[in-house]
Structure 1
Amino acid sequence: MLDCGEGSLGQLSRRFGREALEERLLGLKCVWISHMHADHHLGLLRVLSHRAQAARRAGREGERLTVVGPPPLSKWLRTYASFDQAQYDLVHNARLFPSNEWVGAGCREVLKGLLAEGLGVDVVTVPVKHSCRDACAVIVSDRCAEGETPWKIAYSGDTRPCQSLIDAGRGATLLIHEATLDTPLEEDAKAKQHSTTGEALGVGGRMGAYRTLLTHFSQRYPKVPPLEEVTAHGAAAVAFDFMSVDLADLPSLPSMMAPLARLADEQGWHGLYGEAAE
């Protein structure tokens, strides 16, 4: 799971159904937290708590969930998770940087090996440019068998366009990038250390990402952000609640944008809060 904002458990329940929720929680192996803003980590406690309860009911008490996140997450989890006796192992994001002298290559390789063994993927984190200290992006790469086609997913967290992410995600199968504001609001995005639609698409282009999926839209957009730029791009799409994307369906992903744009126009979804939709 990449980030776990408030309401994540409820979204999982609505997406998969209450009966399947416990199975999904028990199958969860790792939660990665990009930074300490509430909309990215506040749902973690409920996920940990309900996973621990599900494990007890299934006779699997003591199974631990790997959590990767910024150093301040340690104190927060110790303070609150103890009430539910949540079982987790915390790894700081910095320990999975591509190179970091204070970590030490041996320690880093052990951590990467443990994640690879448990998840079947390689995980690398990189620092990014955001208003919150210790903000990171993550790159998850498939450890596929010989003869299979590998995949690579890059997730930005919250950030301004960032060279470290571009370099680490080079050639990604899918880039998931925040696009908090529409392109004309670039100065606002700079002030708030976020990215615009155009900037996020530019990151995908410089990275050489096969597909770019935009997310984390400002609440000023009541339904969807303006879609013209994404629709014209040809290799991008916008994310929305309960969206499921199989990597095998990525070739056709951009084709959904034109129908979505028409629906948004028909329903008047493009108006900003506080403004009457045309």
Structure 2
Amino acid sequence: MRELVVLGTASQVPTRERNHNGYLLRWDGEGLLFDPGEGTQRQMIRAGVSASQVTRICLTHVHGDHCYGLPGVLSRMALDGVAHPVHVHYPASGEPVVGALVALATPGIDLHLHPHGSAGEIADGLSIRPLDHRIEAYGYRLVEPDGRTLLPERLAAAGIGGPAAGRLQRAGVVDGVRLEDVSVPRRGQRFAFVMDTAPCDGADELAEAADVLVAESTFADDDAELAAQYQHLTAGQAGALAGRAGAATLVLTHFSSRYPNVTPLAAQARAQAPHTTVAAANDLDRVGFPSRRPGG
């Protein structure tokens, strides 16, 4: 199953309707928790998400609204007796903050800390790129390997069915029938997470051809000067990012409390990405992955 569960959508301070950041990506057998801000543990309960589903925690940077929920989440995992390893990824310069937050958590889980300091792959299919914020920050990109989609009519014509089809996918050839003879290429799905940043090359690289792009939209276009001052994206800049990248779905989040109504922000983003499905996220939203594109 692949699904994004939005746990919180506020920047800097929570509001009556929006909790601090928090995003759980359910990706087959993994659960990647991005930027758990204060209150994430409670939001997980409200969303019906179990702490035992979390296998990785990915911090873009160590500003409080992106990481102060870490001790609570880890403590809940210890309370629930989570036995599998839990990996935490974060910028190396944030080591003192992450160390302090981990020290506050209840011990008892198999925790692995992974600081990073440059672009590259940090786990199987999971890579990072630097962003342009006031402190060291990185965005995340998860890519499924390319594969092939079996075509039932070609399988039937070749006399391949049942367990033989599975063997064909694993071995590449069965009884003289090649996998490429009965299938078409399938591009792996791609997820990108771009949080606090000014427009930069790293954001573009993360977003390239994403099926689902989560991007901050802290400010409206009318407040572009504030966005530049604090090194954040406006809604229009988030939309332009998605448009340049050819993203299928853009999920806007990390809204300033100055905007009680974010519908105009979604419209500003949509104007820059006419071929992208744009949604302004609300707490507890669930976002499915779009249908695979032709040839993808």
Q: TM over 0.5: same fold?
A: yes
Per the alignment, do residues 7 and 164 of structure 1 end up closer, same or farther by CA in structure 2, a change over 3 Å counting? same
CA contact (8 A) 1:139 1:154 kept: yes
CA contact (8 A) 1:64 1:89 kept: yes
Structure 2 unaligned segments of length 5 or more: list them.
1-32, 150-185
More strand by share: 2
1:151 to 185, 189, 197: 189
Q: Deviation of residue 149 (structure 1)?
A: 4.7
State yes or no: 1:124 paired with 2:162. no
Matched residue, 2:289: 247
Matched residue, 1:183: 221
State yes or no: 1:13 paired with 2:55. no
Q: Give the ranges of 4+ consecutive aligned residues of structure 1 lying more than 6 Å apart after TM superposition.
A: none
- Number of residue pairs matched? 219
2:99 to 75, 78, 100: 78
Q: Deviation of residue 211 (structure 1)?
A: 1.8
CA contact (8 A) 2:194 2:206 kept: no
Equivalent residue letter for 1:31: I
Structure 1 unaligned segments of length 5 or more: list them.
99-107, 117-121, 252-278
Alignment of 1:224-235 (within 5 A): 224-226=262-264, 227-230=266-269, 232=271, 233-234=273-274, 235=276
Alignment of 1:94-243 (within 5 A): 94=117, 97-98=119-120, 112=122, 115-116=123-124, 122-132=125-135, 134-143=136-145, 146-147=148-149, 149-226=187-264, 227-230=266-269, 232=271, 233-234=273-274, 235=276, 236-243=278-285
Per the alignment, do residues 250 and 124 of structure 1 end up closer, same or farther by CA in structure 2, a change over 3 Å counting? same
Q: Deviation of residue 38 (structure 1)?
A: 0.3
More helix by share: 1
User: In structure 2, what is the Cα distance between the partners aligned to 1:86 and 1:33?
Assistant: 21
1:53 to 60, 67, 79: 79
Please tell me the root mean square deviation across aligned C-alpha atoms, in Å: 2.3
Q: Is 223-232 or 175-184 further displaced after alignment?
A: 223-232
User: In structure 2, what is the Cα distance between the partners aligned to 1:250 and 1:177?
Assistant: 21
CA contact (8 A) 1:74 1:90 kept: no
User: In structure 1, what is the Cα distance between the partners aligned to 2:207 and 2:114?
Assistant: 21
**Taking every aligned residue pair, what percent have the same amino acid on both sides?**
26
User: In structure 1, what is the Cα distance between the partners aligned to 2:101 and 2:270?
Assistant: 44
Per the alignment, do residues 189 and 225 of structure 1 end up closer, same or farther by CA in structure 2, a change over 3 Å counting? farther
Q: Deviation of residue 170 (structure 1)?
A: 1.5
